[in-house]
Every structure is written in C-alpha cells, then in structure tokens.
Amino acid sequence: MSQEGQLLDKKSLRAVLGKTANWSELAKDCIAFANALGEIHPKQVKRTLEELTAKGDVRFEGDKRWRRYWVVQR
C-alpha cells in the first residue's frame, strides 16, 4: 500500500465534484507538487488559465497581472 508523501497525495472526489468542490485548494496542492519537482513555470500557469477561461470553466476580473480568477459553478 502506498503512503502519501512529497510525490503522492490522495484526494476524495468531493474535492472536485458538486457543491463541495474546492478548486482553489486542489490548485494549491497541484502547484505545490509541481514546484517540489521544479517543473512549473509561471507561463504554464498563465496558459492553463487562458485555456480554462476560453472553455468557460474559469472566469476572471481585472487586467493583465491584476487578474483574479474563479471557477464557474455549473
């Protein structure tokens, strides 16, 4: 049986489904894991947010570096 650690973290589906979805906490965990491996770049985050915005999964307010993002609840 695998143990949670620096490279493994188990999450409940409740973290990403329905009204109990906590996208900001999940995003923090994903970024922390990527940073632990030294494999994330700010442009990757920017591109991903732009893709999610284009698909309608995320909305934002503000301009350029002062943008704030929210997950669209469906």
Segments making up each domain of the chain, as ranges: 13-71
Q: What is the pLDDT of residue 15?
A: 63
pLDDT digits (tens, 9 = 90+) for 6-55: 666 666 666 667 677 777 777 777 777 777 766 667 777 788 888 888 98
45: three-class secondary structure by DSSP: helix
- pLDDT above 60 for 56: yes
Give how far Cα 13 sits from Cα of 49, 50, 55, 61, Å: 22, 25, 22, 28
Predicted TM-score (pTM) of this structure: 0.48
Task: Look at residues 21, 25, 28 and name the one whose alpha carbon lies nearest to residue 45.
Answer: 28
